[in-house]
Structure formats: C-alpha cells, structure tokens
Amino acid sequence: MSTPEPSAWQQRIAGEWHGRPSLFDHTGTWCGYEEIRRSSDHVDGVTTYRMDGGLVGGGHLAGRFRLGAPFSFGVIDSDANRVYTGPDFFGTGQPYGSFVDSHYYGPGWQVDLNTWNQVLPDGETQVYSSVLHQGWAVVGCFNGVYTRVPARVGDLIEAETRNGPVPYILPTKQAGRFAGECELWGADQKLRGTVAVAITLEPIDLLRTRRVVSWRGSGLERTYAVETRRDGNRLFFEGPDAYGNAIGFGRASFSSLHFTDVWKVKGREFTLDATPGMSAGGRLSVVYELFDGGDLDSVLHGVLAWTPS
C-alpha cells in the first residue's frame, strides 16, 4: 500500500543507521554482538525497511539468530498504526513522538518481538531494544545504541563493543538523582506536554537502595517511594508505595511496577554512559508506559542526567 508523503516518524528515522547491539539470553547472560546496518526509504509512496549484518558469537543462540540473508520488509507508513507486511517481519508499531512501540513476528528468527526504539533529542542517536518471545516466554533480547552520522560510526562501534555487556547497576555508595524533562504522549498518540521527572537514589547498602520517583507536569502528578533490592541482574521493588520487579539485559533494565491503586507501569531504563568497571551515573534514557487498570493511558519518555548529592 502506498502513501504520498512519508509520516513524521518515517522522516525522523530516514537514512542508514549503524550499531553493534548485544545479544542476551533469557537469563540476561551476554552472548555476543550483532553487526547491523538498518535503513528505510520511501520511494514512489512505498516504504521499505532493510537490515543487513551478522551475529558475532551468540553462544547457544547463534543457530537461531544468525542471518542467512539480509532482512527486507514492507511497511504501511503511518503515524497511527505502522503495519509491517513481510516477508521478514509481520506486525504493527505505534509511534509516540520520538519513540515507537512495535510488536511483530520474525519467521526467520522464529520469535515474537517487542521492539522499543527511542530517538534521542539530538535526532541522530537511537536507543534500541528487542525483547524476543516464544509465546509468552522470553528467549532473549537485543539492545544497543545506533547512529546515522557517518563520522560517528567508528567511535560508536568501539564504544558498543566495550560497553554492550556492562550490567545495569546504579550507584551503590553515592546518593544523588537522575532528573530531566520528558515528553508525555497520550494513548491517542497526541502530545500532552512535558513532565519534570526525577529519580532520587539513597543507597542503603551495596544491594539495596531507596528510590523516590516524582513526575510533575501536564496533568501527571505523582511521587512514590520504593525500596529497591538487587540480586544479580534482577531488581525487586518492595514498597511501600509500589511493588514489582525488573530484569537487566546489559545496560537496559526492563521493569513492571504496580502502585497501591489501579495504576501500573511498564518501563525501560537504559544507562547511556555505562562503562566497564565500577563507574555509575551519567545519563539515563527512560521510557515508561502508564496503565490505568488494563488500559494504556500514556507514554512518558526522555533522557535524565545524574547529579550526585
């Protein structure tokens, strides 16, 4: 199906993007890298996506996720429902400004994918993750950072090689907070406005942290505190204002959080400046989907910067 002009999302992601995302198995164990060049074009009203590259390593997942040929699939381009028409991926994606939430199936990989792709405010960097499912069970995850600036590709690939396996661990001895302005988009994919987001961290010991989160603006007013306990790459949020858990696939932590009222949150926090060793802080790329009961109400996303207390 053709559309005369590319959508706002299609214009936002035009060009060729380069990255070296890491592959993790369902436990969060790092397995290898994927050398990827992704591009899309809108020619004569028809949008086509292409993905070329190959898996480096992969461990026990190598046989499933090595590419036998470059991927290519059609897209019904829209800022409402983007429909992926195959042959390599079938499903849909919904943009919320500079973030898209996609659910689709890849016959070659034989997995169902939930892909979150966030274009950062510089317009030239993407934070990407694909959580891979067999039915409802997670079988793995790809995630990493992409750029479409040719002069930055070499440095980015080097950084992704170094930082891709780094686990998501926030400061354990230094109190401080991540804070920044995020965009709030309604489930109707319309911008509601900006929200001041702050995540204040008060370490209790090496594995437990008191986390106080505040959202202020555009009709979203909430502050909640949770005691956060880390067990390897797993997090547990143990009240008093919310309960849930998270699992880390490298620098990306995927969380499910339930408040003591009807609201719940599905989120991803990605440490942009993670490096090997014991450093922490820097910038945190965040996406939160907010649910009123079982209904998606809004999507909150942006970049937060660390300030030590």
User: Residue 133 has what pLDDT?
Assistant: 98
What are the angstrom distances between the C-alpha of 216 and each of 84, 90, 251, 286?
Answer: 36, 38, 26, 16
User: Residue 3 has what pLDDT?
Assistant: 55
Same topology, domains 8-163 and 176-308? Answer is yes
Q: Which fold has domain 176-308?
A: Lipocalin (2.40.128)
Contact yes or no for 283/182 (Cβ under 8 A): no
Distance CA 66, CA 225 (A): 43
- Both tokens assigned to 28: 């969060």
Boundaries of every domain in the chain: 8-163, 176-308
Side chain identity, residue 218: S
Looking at the whole model, is its pTM more than 0.85? Answer: yes
Residue 120: helix, strand or coil by DSSP?
A: coil
pLDDT in single tens digits along all 309 residues of the chain: 445 788 999 999 988 999 999 999 999 999 999 999 998 887 877 888 898 888 999 999 999 998 788 888 999 999 999 999 999 999 999 999 999 999 999 999 999 999 999 999 999 999 999 999 999 999 999 999 999 999 999 999 999 999 999 999 999 999 999 999 999 999 999 999 999 999 999 999 999 999 999 999 999 999 999 999 999 999 999 999 999 999 999 999 999 999 999 999 999 999 999 888 777 789 999 999 999 999 999 999 999 999 999
Superfamily of domain 8-163: Calycin beta-barrel core domain (2.40.128.20)
